[in-house]
């Protein structure tokens, strides 16, 4: 696709896609393209609202789908919890969690890394960050999976019904937690966001709920597959995992470049324009192919090779511009620690059976990663 030019029309999607690093990186930052078009043109969502009213309400209040000035205000509030110095204070606690999970694995038997390790770390971390009970982790994951299923190819009315019900249950739980925090605030993100709301920053209850759900959904799914895909790449390429923090950071970045959990972001065209010789109309959709951009030979030498010494610097896996992943510092730390602890504790770990990527649209990750440790 990269050899075909700066963009091409993907017939199955019905829109133009950009596969090269140069264009993907620029377009992610170009304010003529955005995540939302409703503020500029009338969009008929009546059918979707009838089928999935709770999901539509969630999307309307989701940081991921907003444009300035609403996006600017909400992101400023949320990002305070994710600045690097604040995230770094969680290193010890995440390391303890990773070691605890390794302790629970029966290393005499093959084990699935995803279910026993990669899926557990991020949901526990996000629960603690928000200040919601960690014993709710399995239920939160269940709601998250049911909501994300609506984005899969071939979903039907039953999938939509289940997704909508999961959203309603998720909303009710978060709303209950918000009421608890209002009565008895603590040192967590949810309490902080409530406090800002009460001090006049106009963070309403719908935004609070949507932000909490988004952090759990996005903060979990992508990190799970960042860990799983990374371990697969390391083992398949026989990489010696370094014990230094600098080496661990470089390994994490290369894992995210080489096999990212998200392969495409879409954007609306916000005004009539021409880009790279192609005319676009307001309301058109474009696809930005992150996975392809990360393998662009013009940006990364020998881009098809997994090479931790390069550090993967400059990859597009977290996006760029105003919608750059707000949780990127935390995701990086979780993946770095998960990889370091795993290979420190189980230095002889190897792949037990051929890894298979799950047949999903929204996230690029494995069905399972069965490992042997002896």
pLDDT under 70: residue ranges of the chain = 38-50, 81, 83-85, 153-154, 197-202
What are the tens digits of pLDDT across the range 90-138?
Answer: 899 999 999 999 999 999 999 999 999 999 999 999 898 889 999 998 8
pLDDT, tens digit, 9 for 90 and up, residues 198-228: 556 667 888 888 888 888 887 788 999 999 9
Strands (E), the chain: 8-10, 15-18, 33-34, 111-112, 264-269, 273-275, 278-280, 285-289, 350-351, 356-357, 366-368, 370-372
CA 198: distance to chain centroid? 29
Distances (CA, A) of 196 to 16, 79, 94, 193: 41, 13, 27, 5
Cα–Cα distance measured from residue 25 to residue 302, given in angstroms and rounded to the nearest whole number: 19
* pLDDT in the model for residue 355: 95
Q: What pLDDT is attached to residue 46?
A: 58
d(CA 225, CA 365): 5
Contact criterion met (CB below 8 Å) for 336 and 195: no
In this prediction, residue 47 carries a pLDDT of: 61
Domain of 360: which CATH number?
1.10.630.10
Structure tokens at 319: 């996006």
b/e 187-209 (16+ beta carbons within 10 angstroms → b): ebbbbbbbebbeeeeebeeebbb
Q: How many CB atoms lie within 10 A of CB 299?
A: 18
> Tell me, what's the pLDDT at 43?
53
DSSP string, 312-362: TTT--TT--GGGS-TTHHHHHHHHHHHHHHHHHH-TT-EE-S--EE-S-SS
Cβ-contact 369, 352 below 8 angstroms: no
CA count, 13 A, side-chain hemisphere, 15: 19
Domain count for the chain, please give it.
Answer: 1
Q: What's 199's DSSP letter?
A: I
What pLDDT is attached to residue 278? 93
pLDDT score recorded for residue 363: 87
- Buried b vs exposed e over 342-362: b needs ≥16 C-beta within 10 Å? bbebbeebebbeebeeeebeb
Tokens for 138, please give them. 């399995």
* Residue-number span of the structural domain to which 205 is assigned: 2-372
């Amino acid at each position: 696709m990269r050899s075909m030019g700066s963009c091409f029309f993907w017939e199955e999607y019905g829109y133009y896609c950009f596969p090269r690093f140069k264009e993907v990186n620029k377009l992610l930052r170009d304010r003529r393209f955005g995540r939302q078009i409703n503020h500029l043109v009338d969009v008929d969502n009546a059918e979707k609202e009838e089928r999935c009213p709770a999901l539509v309400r969630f999307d309307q209040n989701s940081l991921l789908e907003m444009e300035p000035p609403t996006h600017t205000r909400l992101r400023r509030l949320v990002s305070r919890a994710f600045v690097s110095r604040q995230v770094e204070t969680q290193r010890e606690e995440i390391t303890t969690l990773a070691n605890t999970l390794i302790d629970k694995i029966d290393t005499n038997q093959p084990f699935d890394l995803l279910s026993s390790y990669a899926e557990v770390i991020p949901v526990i971390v996000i629960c603690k960050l928000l200040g919601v009970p960690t014993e709710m982790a399995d239920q939160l994951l269940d709601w998250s999976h049911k909501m994300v299923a609506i984005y899969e190819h071939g979903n039907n009315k039953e999938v939509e019904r289940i997704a909508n019900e999961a959203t309603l249950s998720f909303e009710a739980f978060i709303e209950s937690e918000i009421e608890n925090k209002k009565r008895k605030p603590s040192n967590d993100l949810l309490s902080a966001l409530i406090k800002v709301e009460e001090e006049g920053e106009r963070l309403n209850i719908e935004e609070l709920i949507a932000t909490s759900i988004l952090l759990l959904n996005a903060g979990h799914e992508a990190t799970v597959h960042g860990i799983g895909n990374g371990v697969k790449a390391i083992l398949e390429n026989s990489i010696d995992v370094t014990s230094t923090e600098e080496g661990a950071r470089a390994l994490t970045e290369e894992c995210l470049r080489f096999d990212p959990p998200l392969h495409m972001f879409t954007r609306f065209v916000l005004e009539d324009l021409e880009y790279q010789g192609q005319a676009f109309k307001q309301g058109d959709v474009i696809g930005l192919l992150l996975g392809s951009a990360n393998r662009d030979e013009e940006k990364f030498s020998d881009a098809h090779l997994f090479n931790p010494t390069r550090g993967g610097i400059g990859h597009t896996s977290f996006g760029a511009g105003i919608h750059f992943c707000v949780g990127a510092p935390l995701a990086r730390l979780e993946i770095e620690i998960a990889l370091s602890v795993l290979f420190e504790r189980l230095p002889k770990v190897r792949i037990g059976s051929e890894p298979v990527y799950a047949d999903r649209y929204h996230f690029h990750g494995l069905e399972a990663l069965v490992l042997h440790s002896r």
